[in-house]
Amino acid sequence: MTNNVRTTLVTTVDSNKNKYSVRQYSSARKARLLQSTIGRPSTEDFIKYIEGNMIPNCNITRDNIIRAEDIFGPNFGSLKGKMTRRPTQHVDISWTSVPQEIIQQYGEVTLAVDVMAINKIPFLMMTSRNIHFGTAELICNKTKNTLMMSIQQVARAYKARVSVYVTY
């Protein structure tokens, strides 16, 4: 019989706090409070401010800041908004011809059409059966001519992309 035992180790503030004396922990808390008070600079910038005497009458030292980082972890407030977003890679879309088997199987498209309102703004919703391609179009009113123009526009899109025969 196998005994599946899994262990997860979690480092907590309490276990980190026990590595230091009461006075060191208190100074680390003061350092973290000051860091939050002055606008949550990064740890490196905060150390530069302290070492450059940019904060008058401050009794926080570099060691206090490093201890605060060790006990409490990184200051999440100083991380927020400062991380840069990496640009996504470009997605190249190239249209290829649709295989003949698909055109034969789904060549006749049936559209399910409905008018949906969001905050009293009408939209014409269309979904093709079998293919499950959905479209939504903002319409100015719910008259027959407006609805037919929207349906014909979607039908032209199907004809242009797949050479599908659409019947009304």
Dump pLDDT digits (tens) for 42-59: 899 999 999 999 998 899
State the pLDDT at residue 50: 92
- The pLDDT of 126-154, averaged and rounded, is 88
Dump pLDDT digits (tens) for 16-41: 888 899 999 999 999 999 998 998 89
Q: At what angle do helices 22-37 and 62-72 cross, to 10 degrees?
A: 90
State the pLDDT at residue 98: 66
Q: Compute the distance between CA of residue 131 and CA of residue 51 in angstroms, rounded to an integer.
A: 66
**Rg of the chain over CA atoms, in angstroms?**
32
Provide the whole-model pTM.
Answer: 0.45
Domain positions in the chain are 13-79, 100-162
Residues 6+ apart with CB under 8 A from 129: 109, 110, 111, 112
Angle at 69 between CA 65 and CA 74, to 5 degrees: 125
Whether the pLDDT of residue 112 is over 80: the answer is yes
- The pLDDT of 121-140, averaged and rounded, is 88
Residues 6+ apart with CB under 8 A from 24: 64, 67
Report which secondary-structure segment, H or E, holds 17: helix 13-17
State the pLDDT at residue 167: 43
User: Tokens 């000051």 — which residue?
Assistant: 34
State the pLDDT at residue 129: 82
- The pLDDT of 85-102, averaged and rounded, is 74
